[in-house]
Amino acid sequence: MKVGIPRALLYYWYGFTWRTFWEEAGTEVVVSAPTERSTVTVGSKASVDELCLPIKIFLGHVRQVAHQADWVMIPHLIKVEAGAYLCPKFIGLPDIVAHACPDLRDKCFTVTVGRNHLDMFQSLKRSALRLGIPERQIPRELKANNRLPALYELAKAGYPRQPEAEGGRLRIGILGHPYCIYDRCFNLDIFDKLNGLDVDIFTPEMMPEHMAGLGSGQLNKELFWTLGRSQFDALEWMLGKLKVDGFIHLSPFACGPEAMIGDMLERRIRRAGLPILKLFFEEHSGEAGMITRLEAFIDLIRYRSRVC
């Protein structure tokens, strides 16, 4: 039996956890290939125009992996921590998939990613039983390795890099949702572009875990989006500890939460007197435009650090 996992959305946090579980349960796991232009095309064809690019990419991956696997796992992301939700589109993800790909309804099953590991483990166990896997085969525990896929993607891109002797490289903090940062097709391979510009980059997932909650805890009102909280934590880390030289914010076009979070991040970064480049991505994003702006931004920071 083959279980397919779409390489999209919070796969970049929980993907390896899921994969390990299904492999230990004795199934063959197929993870969809990294996003390509064709994935985006397939996904946008299936969905209404108003959906954001990450969801369209997700639908593309569902379609792709459905060809290779007997079952497709749809993560149902409501709350992954206490007191905070994910985007309403994630909460309705099983419904979106059911209506965007009605022909795949019999192939898809839902796994609820709960507030802690136990919730996710139970949900996975229930799905495994429903797929007819005998109980003795189901693993007794869930190996916790959150965010590992993200770090793996970073390592593939060569980060974190060896520090240079006389601290010459610029440090750039990258903010955004994990599926915006690590999906190379989504962000037109920004790692590669920044590598070429010889700067060091830092992402929210590189933050040591004990710093979680420090940045978002300073907010006036508790933030109720997990992916917003992680960015405020990262901002605190990057401003306070890393002392980065500038920020790049990646977000999908017309992203709901990011419209608010991005604005509040920008205000804080401005108050700290640092430059920020905000990049919005959608199906029609062009590479040339992005490269020009990246180069100009990095040049500006270099010039700034020489002057100040």
Binding site for another protein (CB under 8 A): 47-48, 50-51, 76, 78, 84-89, 91-92, 94-96, 99-100, 102, 219-225, 253-260, 262-264, 267
At residue 139, what is the residue type?
P
Rounded to a whole number of angstroms, the minimum distance from the CB of residue 229 to another protein is 12
Nearer to another protein, 28 or 263 (CB): 263
Q: For 197-255, where are the alpha helices, taking DSSP H only? A: 226-237
User: What's the closest the beta carbon of residue 217 comes to another protein, in angstroms?
Assistant: 14
Cα gap 145→20, rounded to integer Å: 10
CA 175 to chain centre: 11
Containing 299, the helix (H) or strand (E) segment is helix 287-307
Comparison of 267 and 304: residue with beta carbon closer to another protein: 267
Joined together, the tokens standing for residue 297 give: 């931004």
Task: Name the minimum Å distance from CB 94 to another protein.
Answer: 7
Closest distance to another protein from the beta carbon of 270 (Å)? 9
Minimum Å gap between C-beta 233 and another protein is 17
Q: b/e map of 164-196 (b: 16 or more CB within 10 Å)? A: eeeeeebbbbbbbbbbbbbbbbbbbebbebbbe
Q: Contacts from 194-198 at CB under 8 Å and sequence distance 24+? A: 194/294, 194/298, 195/157, 195/158, 197/294, 197/295, 197/298, 198/169, 198/170
